[in-house]
Amino acid sequence: MNMLTYRSSGILLPVSALPGPYGIGTMGVQARQFVDFLSAAGQHYWQILPLVPPGDGNSPYMSSSSFAGNPWFLDLEELAEEGLLTPEELLSSRCANPDRVDYDWVRQTRAPLFEAAWARGEETYGPLVDAFLEEEKDWLPDFVLYQAVKEAYQGAPLEQWPRAVRLREETALAQLRAERKERCRYFAFLQYLFFRQWTALKQYANERNIQILGDLPIYVSPDSAEVWAQPALFQLDGELVPTAVAGVPPDAFTDLGQHWGNPLYDWDYHKKTGFAWWRRRGTHMARLYDAVRIDHFRAFHTYWSIPLGAESAKEGHWEPGPGMDLVEVLAGVPGLSLIAEDLGDLDDAAREFIAGSGLPGMKVLVYAFDPVGESAYLPHNCTPNSVVYTGTHDTPTFVQWLFDEAGPAEREYAMDYLRLREDEGFGWGAVRGAWSTPSRLAIAPMQDLLGLGADARMNAPGTMGEHNWSWRVRQEALNPSVSEHLRRLTRVYRRCL
């Protein structure tokens, strides 16, 4: 289903980056205030990053589940209102740093809070949790057992579990199900709370004509519930070790390519099942979001396969993906609108495949300004069936690109083309350029709306570091001056009434 039926615009801001006093953004009052900010600014879309639990490097693209929600996003104040937490416990979980997600702080403070909430709520919420386990039986029992077993082994990754458990031998599995039954219910309780709160937040947004644009990571972590419970989905050996892993060849981000390390899919198996797992995943996404960006969509055509043990991604090679068969399956999921993340190394065949899918692709301004050649990303070349971005979570902010990364000729061309002015703000100039394009949907990361530089970059692909995935917006930035200016600009370019 194509979502681009009228001109509109929106802002990219991960839930983790919302303001608030508890070390990370949550689905609480600040999320609703951001929805109100978007509504006042004449926007129709709130784009977020994946809601799944983060994995290595705190990345939501290396998750332990394709279906679970991240309990760190739970609104603690709502739990306190329900009597599950005390005012003293809320006070103990407050974090002083408003500018960065303090992942260590979140890990240290959330676990005891959630344990206390379950201890107080088990009698009341227990029947609801049991019903939720039954309702979500196609993924939740496997996920909570994975969580409970991982906890039993002090957080050790799947590859370090005892062989009988790792390979799900029936006797070992039955014993663990019995021993960890109550811990499974605890982890299911957190998921029940997450999906209840998210459903309420999405309803709040939709009632204010704000659509949620979600994100579907194409891969999962090798340390995940899916690899453990459904190994046939992946290219694994008999010990659940990937025989090859995901990444991309050398590109604009790195000369060595990117070695992601995710297990690759066994596409022959998926085809034999009629892509049943993907159909379930698409149905799940349609419940959570109004539209979904498919991460690394080019892998549907061909994917980069890196041999196990390779020293760099340069040793990989292209393999055929599932092709249009999977696109048609996902396009047939009721209520699922899709955007193709079609960036990166594309040959003519991949471009033809993406165009043939009919899905709107992405145009990114920070890649547009080749001073001597033409670019499909230049505003005048953007097509109506596309989503134009000033930048993404993986690019530098527009201001960072302009002054730190663009060459002198690139910078001069961008300044001339967009008529950038310091008195207006270079970020506003980029937003104006994106909003003016023929693309029916225009998106700006919140950082570009505020004209922020390198400190506000969300992620630098191919790197690990405390700055990745940690930037947060301050509450005072979501003010009427910003929303009114954005609304005026949005009306000028006919993206709101």
Positions marked catalytic: 295, 341, 394
Q: How many helices (H) and strands (E) would you count in the chain?
A: 18, 12
Say how many CA atoms lie within 13 Å of 46 toward its Cβ. 30
Q: Which pair of tokens denotes residue 98?
A: 């408003």
For 321-452, strand residue ranges (E) read 338-340, 361-364, 386-389, 441-445
CA–CA separation, 199 and 482 (whole Å): 28
Q: Which pair of tokens denotes residue 108?
A: 């240290």
Locus of tokens 């982890």: 187
Q: Do β-strands 338-340 and 361-364 pair in parallel, antiparallel, or remain unpaired?
A: unpaired
- Mutual angle of helices 29-40 and 181-207, in 10-degree steps: 20
**CA distances for 145 relative to 128, 139, 152, 175, 177, angstroms:** 18, 10, 10, 12, 7
- List Cβ neighbours of 344 (8 Å cut-off, separation of 6 or more): 248, 251, 296, 298
The secondary element (H helix, E strand) that includes residue 304 is: strand 302-307
Closest CA to 419 of 444, 404, 439, 436: 436
Beta carbons within 10 angstroms of residue 442's beta carbon: 29
CA–CA separation, 73 and 62 (whole Å): 17
Q: Do β-strands 258-263 and 244-248 pair in parallel, antiparallel, or remain unpaired?
A: antiparallel
